[in-house]
Amino acid sequence: MIPYKTAIIRVFSGTGNSHRVAAWLAEVARGRGVEVSNEGIGPEVRKSGSPEVENSESPDSGAGNEKTLLALVFPTHAFTAPWRVVRYACGLPRGNGAHAVVVATRAGLKFGPVFTPGMEGTGAYLIALILRLKGYRIRGVCGVDMPSNWIASHWGLHRSTAEPIVARSRRVATRFGQRVLDGGRAFPIGGMVELLLGLVLAPISFLYLIQGRFFLAKLFFADNRCTGCGLCAASCPVQAITMWGKRPYWSFACESCMRCMAFCPTKAVESGHSLGILYFLLTAPLFVWGMNELVTHFPSLAWALDPENSTWIFILANWAFSLIALGLAYLVLTVLLRVRAINALFAYTTLTRYWRRYHEPDTVVKDLVPPKAG
Ligand SMILES: Cc1cc2nc3c(=O)[nH]c(=O)nc-3n(C[C@H](O)[C@H](O)[C@H](O)COP(=O)(O)O)c2cc1C
Ligand code: SF4
Ligand code: SF4
């Protein structure tokens, strides 16, 4: 007997890796006669909770129904789940006993004949925990090593390296899918090790969520090769890009998923390494100056702003200041980057200018962007 009637697959994917894994799970399900709904986690969630799971095909519509399997598939970011996915899981309706599985894709690499695994850390189990607390019964948790897509921090893998990693992962994901769709449970032992490592690395994940991702968002800029086609803005999964006079502007909503960078037709999207250094050089003295000014004008704040007396207030002030300074600096830079010479200066002093881009070898951007309704 087929244990499931319906499989609801929801995927967040930057460069197609998680999209591909979701497609493999869908293939296994369809092969067993299971009805599949395989869709991206839509951008509208950012503004208004999770409307798409409140429609008729939500797991809730089969409340308490073990015939429905929900699968969440997403990439690992900084040893945990992207913030967008955490929000999505929190916004899901109650599971009432519906079954669920969680799959985190991660950065696999290959050196000669040796495949090295990525590290999903707390990502998969964090989402599994949220779903459990919402009343879902977790039937499996899995990490799948797809080619690393963090092309802001390293050159993109060549197709000839990526393809064997993808082929290997296909076997892992398919075995996982077969097991859970045949009614079994799948909690590979490696996932537990990952979880333990993830807990050790949790401070890094936390720092990334509250600070790192905002900083990375403000490193993006379009170099002089940008044609103003608007593809980056139209295809961003969280609508983080606005076109300002034919040039993209990256907001703090960016999840650093790398889609805009991977699919820009002219390879114009850069992550500004030299920009990062400039931010640091500008904001560090500005911070010291700002703190001194505050204390001079409001002496009563001196005690609270002294890190030795009140570490938390100091940290909070530091955090708020750095985000405000970053936002303002980026606004100024957006204007300055219109000057071709300044743009070229930043473009040629950033490593991404010379790096290959990566996206899942068989994925085109249209696969990741659902057609607009109507
Ligand atoms: C900002 C960022 C952070 C990442 N952090 C990790 C990580 O901590 N561990 C890991 O194994 N992979 C990490 N990766 C790699 C991706 O999780 C991996 O390549 C994933 O398969 C990408 O899937 P997607 O194409 O569906 O977005 C990171 C990628 C990005 C862009
Ligand atoms: S996709 Fe590339 S060329 Fe098109 S607007 Fe964005 S940065 Fe410019
Ligand atoms: S702006 Fe680019 S990197 Fe950021 S979420 Fe959108 S597509 Fe991904």
Annotate the chain with three-state secondary structure.
Answer: CCCCCEEEEEECCCCCHHHHHHHHHHHHHHHCCCEEEEEECCCCHHHHCCHHHHCCCCHHHHCCCCCEEEEEEEECECCECCHHHHHHHHHCCCCCCCEEEEEEEEEEEEECCEEECCCCCCHHHHHHHHHHHCCCEEEEEEEEEEECCCCCCCCCCCHHHHHHHHHHHHHHHHHHHHHHHCCCCECCHHHHHHHHHHHHCHHHHHHHHHHHHHHHHCCEEECCCCCCCCHHHHHCCCCCEEEECCEEEECCCCCCCCHHHHHCCCCCEEECHHHHHHHHHHHHHHHHHHHHHHHHHCHHHHHHHCCCCCHHHHHHHHHHHHHHHHHHHHHHHHHHCCCHHHHHHHHHCCHHHCCCCCCCCCCCHHHHCCCCCC
Is residue 80 within 6 Å of ligand 1 at its C-beta?
no
pLDDT at 1: 57
pLDDT at 64: 46
Instruction: Please name every residue paired with 57 in a beta bridge, in sequence order, or none if there are none.
Output: none
Phi, psi (degrees; rounded to nearest 5) at 145:
-85, 100
Query: What does the block give as tokens for 147?
Result: 């080619």
Q: Whose CA is nearest to atom 2 of ligand 1?
A: 77
Pocket of ligand 2 (CB under 6 A): 222, 226-232, 248, 264-266, 268-269
Is residue 14 within 6 Å of ligand 3 at its C-beta?
yes
Residues of the chain with pLDDT under 50: 44-64, 374
Residues 137, 171, 235, CA angle at the centre, nearest 5°?
75
Q: Which amino acid is residue 163, in one-letter code? A: E
Number of neighbours of residue 215 by Cβ within 10 angstroms: 17
Q: Which mutation among 250, 269, 357 tests ligand 2's pocket best, with the greatest number of atoms within 8 A of CB?
A: 269
CB 135 within 8 A of CB 100: no
pLDDT at 119: 95
pLDDT at 108: 93
The string of pLDDT tens digits covering residues 267-287 is 999 999 998 888 888 777 777
Instruction: Please name every residue paired with 220 in a beta bridge, in sequence order, or none if there are none.
Output: 271
pLDDT at 372: 65
Please tell me the distance between residue 356's alpha carbon and the centre of ligand 3 in angstroms: 18
The ligand whose atoms approach the alpha carbon of 250 most closely is 3
Is residue 119 within 6 Å of ligand 1 at its C-beta?
yes
CA distances from 261 to 160, 189, 245 (A): 20, 35, 19
The ligand whose atoms approach the alpha carbon of 221 most closely is 2
Please tell me the distance between residue 149's alpha carbon and the centre of ligand 1 in angstroms: 6
Please tell me the distance between residue 258's alpha carbon and the centre of ligand 2 in angstroms: 13
CB 41 within 8 A of CB 91: no
Is residue 253 within 6 Å of ligand 3 at its C-beta?
no
pLDDT at 272: 94
pLDDT at 2: 62
